Amino acid sequence: TQLLEQSPQFLSIQEGENLTVYCNSSSVFSSLQWYRQEPGEGPVLLVTVVTGGEVKKLKRLTFQFGDARKDSSLHITAAQPGDTGLYLCRAGGGADGLTFGKGTHLIIQP
Amino acid sequence: SQTIHQWPATLVQPVGSPLSLECTVEGTSNPNLYWYRQAAGRGLQLLFYSVGIGQISSEVPQNLSASRPQDRQFILSSKKLLLSDSGFYLCAWSFTDYEQYFGPGTRLTVT
């Protein structure tokens, strides 16, 4: 099972600021997904990245897959209170050997 | 479009009582189905997954069990709950190896 480390564990910033959170491993991934989870709800898929160096944008969110496919980052521009939540990464493909990171708890203060 | 349902939404049960949580998926056939538990500070722990009717794989030893009596129905059960079974239980489905789609979850408190 691949071990995923997410950092920072907690992040609290003011509305309008930029931020980056990370998902790292010593293993090479075939794919990586990012999810956002709001309190009391299930995680919602944001994006899947599969190619080393790949960059995907979802409005103010930019996702990057590392060239060696061992790490990924999520950058949020001009954060808004609606971005508040737990951001989870999940790596691999299929159920065997897959794992979720413990997540980054993000709070955007108005 | 596909939708996933879980019930109940919340549950308070005494130690030693049985448990049955249900998950159903609509709008797809032969999905992969998953049960996760989420405890504070521990992230999402995969409990069971199923690739078809009657096919269940267990990821961790515990007093929980899972069954898939129908293609789009996944049930999580226990004969006797422990305090440590408290948590947020999530059902998910996937149609490919990459993305998973989660239900709204069940908050279980064992007292």
Q: CA of A9: how far to CAs of A16, A71, A79, A83, B16, in Å?
A: 21, 16, 17, 16, 35
CA angle A81, A82, A87 (to 5 degrees): 105
| Cβ neighbours of A100 in B, within 8 Å | 43-44
Rounded Cα distance, A25 and A6, in Å: 9
Give B7-40 pLDDT, tens digit per residue. Answer: 999 999 999 999 999 999 999 899 999 999 998 7
Look up residue B60 and give its two tokens: 């961790």
Q: CA of A13: how far to CAs of A9, A34, A94, B34, in Å?
A: 13, 20, 35, 34
Coil/strand/helix, residue A93: coil
B104 → closest Cβ in A42, A90, A100:
A42
Determine the pLDDT at residue A26: 84
**Cβ contact A41–B107 (<8 Å):** no
Whether the bond into B8 is cis, omega within 30 of 0? yes
Q: Provide the chain A residues 29-58 that lie in CB contact (below 8 A) with chain B.
A: 31, 33, 35, 40-45, 48, 50
Rounded Cα distance, A48 and A9, in Å: 21
Give B36-93 pLDDT, tens digit per residue. Answer: 999 876 789 899 999 999 999 888 767 999 999 999 999 999 999 999 999 999 999 9
**Cβ contact B102–A98 (<8 Å):** no
Work out the pLDDT band at A99, boundaries 50, 70, 90.
confident
B89 touches chain A (CB under 8 A): no
Work out the pLDDT band at A60, boundaries 50, 70, 90.
very high
Look up residue A34 and give its two tokens: 């990012």
Of A90, A85, A102, the closest CA to residue A36 belongs to A85
